[in-house]
Amino acid sequence: MDELKESKRLINFISSWVDLSQIDIEELQPKLSIEIYDKGDIIVKQGQICKYLKFVISGIYRVYQLKNGKEITSYFNYESRNPLVASFVSLLKGQPSNEIIECIVPGKLISIPYSDWKNLYSISSSFNTFGRLIAEFNYVLAIERIESLQYQSASERYDIFIKCYPNLLNLIPHHYIASYLGVTPESLSRIRKVSIKK
């Protein structure tokens, strides 16, 4: 019963983008599984081929890469922003992931094999449309992230972070946020002090 209740949240999310028929829902539900993660659990390892698309029910997840022993955070997944969890280049190209996905606040994910997800595209125009819309949405997020790193100051990036992730500041370690912003923890501390005085 819990699985049906949790899967309903994914169905509601998809339905906020497209109209799903009862047949669509019946095709989707048996393919879903619920996964529970604790803080520090690794969902995708570097070098592993990502074969599952996951959806956030609860918790917070960090996507990062290791470069010369340094962790570089790409983005965070949680329910109200970036709720689809995967190493997307690995998922789409079937190649080993350069990214690591880690649970940083305990929670639950709904998981579906990507092979099953792609099959839904071929049998349902609604799922096909949803896939296109969510791909376009994620493309915009990626471009905004690239432009932020290239053209905005650290203070501007911090202000945008607060707008995009308003609940995260007090939930996750600040060195993760510093890594995401491309600054040192000491620089983040100075930026925060200036921001508070505004």
Separation between Cα atoms, residue 170 and residue 172, nearest integer Å: 6
Q: What is the pLDDT of residue 197?
A: 66
Q: Which residue has the higher pLDDT, 1 or 147?
A: 147
> Tokens for 107?
């929670």
Separation between Cα atoms, residue 96 and residue 77, nearest integer Å: 20
pLDDT band at 10 (very low <50, low <70, confident <90, very high): very high
Helix (H) or strand (E) holding 129: helix 125-151
Q: What is the pLDDT of residue 198?
A: 62
Helix (H) or strand (E) holding 28: helix 22-28
User: Is 132:50 a contact under the CB 8 Å cutoff?
Assistant: no
Q: Is the pLDDT score of 119 beyond 70?
A: yes
Q: What is the pLDDT of residue 68?
A: 85
> Tokens for 165?
């992730």
Q: What is the mean pLDDT of residues 22-47?
A: 96
pLDDT band at 83 (very low <50, low <70, confident <90, very high): very high
Instruction: Output helix, strand, coil percentages for the chain, rounded to the nearest 5.
Output: 50, 25, 25
User: Is 56:111 a contact under the CB 8 Å cutoff?
Assistant: no
Q: Is the pLDDT score of 56 beyond 90?
A: yes
pLDDT in tens, 14-33: 999 999 999 999 999 999 99
Q: Identify the DSSP state of 31.
A: G
Q: What is the mean pLDDT of residues 66-95?
A: 91
Separation between Cα atoms, residue 155 and residue 162, nearest integer Å: 11
Query: Phi first, then psi: what are they for 172, rounded to 5°?
Result: -130, 155
Q: Which residue has the higher pLDDT, 118 or 165?
A: 118
Which residue(s) pair with 78 in the sheet? 60, 81
Q: For the full predicted model, state whether its pTM sits above 0.85.
A: yes
List Cα–Cα distances, 11 to 18, 66, 172, in angstroms: 10, 34, 28
Per mean pLDDT, which range of 61-65, 94-98, 123-127, 184-188 is the poorest?
184-188
> Tokens for 75?
């983005």
pLDDT in tens, 150-187: 899 999 999 988 888 888 888 889 999 999 998 999 99
